Amino acid sequence: MTENKIPYKIYLEESEMPQAWYNVRADMPVKPAPLLNPATGKPCTAEELGAVFCGELVAQELNDTDRYIPIPQEIRDFYKMYRPSPLVRAYCLEEKLDTPAKIYYKFEGNNTSGSHKLNSAIAQAYYAKNQGLKGVTTETGAGQWGTALAMACGYLGLDCKVYMVKCSYEQKPFRREVMRTYGASVTPSPSMTTEAGRRILAEDPETTGSLGCAISEAVEDATSHEGYRYVLGSVLNQVLLHQSVIGLECKTALDKYGVVPDMIIGCAGGGSNLGGLISPFMGEKLRGERDYEFIAVEPASCPSLTRGVFAYDFCDTGKVCPLAKMYTLGSGFIPSANHAGGLRYHGMSPVLSELYHEGLMEARSVEQTKVFEAAEYFARVEGILPAPESSHAIRVAIDEAIKCKETGEEKTILFGLTGTGYFDLYAYQKFNDGVMDDYIPTDEELQASFAKLPKIG
């Protein structure tokens, strides 16, 4: 098929949808470092992890040898409710930028959770249900993960308890309401329902909460109630595994039209979207079959890859979770109130951290107002109001397309459009009113945070 026959949107047939997730760890010559038990300093065993996570998910977390892991039929059926997601050829954007670059984006926002998070939420909820559990607990910041999990649990009839960072709970009442509509219970964190919450409230009754604190509460709730486990929407190996459906669908769609991307761009907070998007392409690179340029884009306010250190650190500020080896700003680092809530995480997926450490992937950080400029431009040209998180990738894709205009290169650019900004209009309002800030942490702040890293590994 010739390239000018590529439609605006490529939808795969149901029969072309992935039947197995791709596990990039199987192709990594250097595996991501194992999670450590902070008490012993030794790798967590399946048994230890099983107290917090479902059995099947622990197996997936530890599996770094099987290249493909079959997607159960029930999950594939659920995927059919909102997948395949469209791979969009950004003809309008190309024309407006007057660039010779060819731009594609994989749009994951066409489901009620508003993002790619549902891909892993349904998998985690399914395994919990399958294990005979009553319910799951989790935390949510921006609210995309909490909404996705509420949807998955609502569908399966599983109890869902969400600890929502208090300031988000108050600023985003509508996010909370979507979760309630899907039957989830939503508790502002810190709360009086957990030991961790009571301790934090005793120290600082006025605190507006943090993701780290909410994680601690959710983990405590799960481990102290019979029939519950904790689930997490990013960072973990299992999450990147589930999110590989994004990249697998992309690859099938591009292969169908004989298109090979030169660069693949994604926003990166904990790494769930970027990891899922690039996995199958990174696999080809690792196996020496084809080369690609990968770019992780993070907020300048929370620059774990570009300014962090590669070290063992806690996944949560409460220090109840295992230690992970990753690029981190320190688990005590409190990101500024950057509106890309989903990217306000101090660490980065161990898989992506390892790939970045080996120079297989680049990273860039961008400032918030530049991100919103790109978001508004994109919204008007391509008709989709993007999430602030996703707009980090848009910013760099536009920058690269402009470079192509200058050099005359006809590069093929693929980026991940992870979600929509319908629940982020408070941030858009700040941008529209010209009162958005661009806080960047100082070197001193970061050094002070690094000094508190655990002395392990």
User: Distance between CA 4 and CA 7 in Å, rounded?
Assistant: 8
- Of 102 and 325, nearer to a second copy (C-beta) is 102
Closest contact distance (angstroms) between CB of 177 and a second copy is: 4
Q: Which two tokens stand for residue 273?
A: 């979207």
Contact characters 376-415, a second copy, x per CB under 8 A: x--xxxxxxx------------------------------
What residue type is assigned to position 240 of the chain? L
Going by their DSSP bridges, the two strands 309-314 and 323-328 should be labelled as: antiparallel
Q: Which of 177, 255, 358, 409 binds a second copy (CB under 8 A)?
A: 177
Q: Which of 125, 428, 441, 453 binds a second copy (CB under 8 A)?
A: 428
Give the neighbor-by-neighbor strand order of the sheet with 9-10: 9-10, 87-89, 102-107, 412-417, 263-267, 293-299, 362-366
Is 183 a residue that touches a second copy (CB under 8 A)? Answer: yes
Closest contact distance (angstroms) between CB of 15 and a second copy is: 9
- Per CB under 8 A, which region of 2-10, 29-37, 337-345, 449-457 contacts a second copy? 2-10
Contact in structure between 150 and 179 (CB atoms under 8 Å): yes
User: Distance between CA 393 and CA 81 in Å, rounded?
Assistant: 26
- Of 312 and 423, nearer to a second copy (C-beta) is 423
Is 187 a residue that touches a second copy (CB under 8 A)? Answer: no
Max CA distance (Å), the chain: 66
Q: Which of 120, 374, 423, 449 binds a second copy (CB under 8 A)?
A: 423
- Of 32 and 135, nearer to a second copy (C-beta) is 135
Residues within window 213-232 making contact with a second copy, judged by CB under 8 A: none
Contact in structure between 350 and 344 (CB atoms under 8 Å): no
What residue type is assigned to position 254 of the chain? L
- Per CB under 8 A, which region of 177-185, 214-222, 331-339, 344-352 contacts a second copy? 177-185
Contact characters 3-42, a second copy, x per CB under 8 A: ----xxx-x-xx----------------------------
What residue type is assigned to position 174 of the chain? F
Nearest to 228, CA basis, from 120, 118, 138, 322: 138
Is 72 a residue that touches a second copy (CB under 8 A)? Answer: no
User: Distance between CA 345 and CA 302 in Å, rounded?
Assistant: 7
- Of 177 and 255, nearer to a second copy (C-beta) is 177
**Run of H or E including 32:** none
Contact characters 155-174, a second copy, x per CB under 8 A: x-----------------xx
Side-chain half-sphere CA neighbours of 219 within 13 A: 21
Closest contact distance (angstroms) between CB of 96 and a second copy is: 10
What residue type is assigned to position 160 of the chain? C
User: Distance between CA 319 and CA 327 in Å, rounded?
Assistant: 17
Report the Cα–Cα distance between both ends of the chain, in Å, rounded: 52
Binding residues for a second copy (CB under 8 A): 7-9, 11, 13-14, 80-82, 92, 110-112, 114, 151, 154-155, 173-174, 177-178, 180-183, 376, 379-385, 420, 422-423, 425-426, 428-429, 432
